[in-house]
Amino acid sequence: MSTTVDLNENPSGSLCVYRDAYPWILYGTRPEGRLLSREGCLTSETMDSVYTEDCVLYSYSADSVLTIEHLNDLFNCCPDSLYAYFDSYDHIIDILEFESLGESGGCDCLCLYNMYYRITTLPPGLWTVRIDNRKYYSLYGNREIIEFQVDLSPGVSGSACVDRIYLPWEGIQ
């Protein structure tokens, strides 16, 4: 911004300009995500028979919203709460999933849950999505997090799955 000011005629005053960007927000608004809801404890009878693996279903809408369903996610049977931490950078979306067992300490059992996420203000383009349930992926043999790339444009939808070698009602396979 530059301007010429005649201090003889106007010894005081103000000059304002519209700011359309801030240094801590690059390329517009940063994507934000949140856990919308969850359902579980799923059993062999109530889980979706089509998806017996640890799966993610996703869809992207014209209003720059990515909806994610994480199916058959493994957690303690009685968590005080289930929550997720979101981060996005360099066209990567990280979702880290956690449980809080609260004062009760949880139960001595494991269940499958379906987790539903919504990520807003996500511009179109090639994105990598990574979902990591840190405690249970390493503890029960899933060595890889769910990770997939998707070229987001309105109407794009799909799925990505990783093999689950442990189901709570069958023991380690």
* CA 82 – CA 133 distance, rounded (Å): 11
Residue 84 pLDDT > 80: yes
> How many CB atoms neighbour CB 73 within 10 A?
24
Find tokens 């919308």 and name the residue. Answer: 36
- Residue 135 backbone class (left: φ over 0; alpha: ψ -120 to 50; beta: rest): alpha
Q: Please, what's the b/e burial string for 146-173 (b: 16 or more CB within 10 A of its CB; e: otherwise)?
A: bebebebeeeeeeebbbebebbbeeeee
Residue 86 pLDDT > 80: yes
pTM here is 0.73
* Rounded percentage of the chain residues whose pLDDT exceeds 70: 79
* CA 111 – CA 66 distance, rounded (Å): 26
More confident residue, 116 or 3: 116
* CA 83 – CA 51 distance, rounded (Å): 22
Residue-averaged pLDDT of the chain: 79
* pLDDT band (50, 70, 90) for residue 155: very high
- pLDDT, tens only, 21-45: 444 444 446 677 777 888 878 877 7
* pLDDT on residue 143: 60
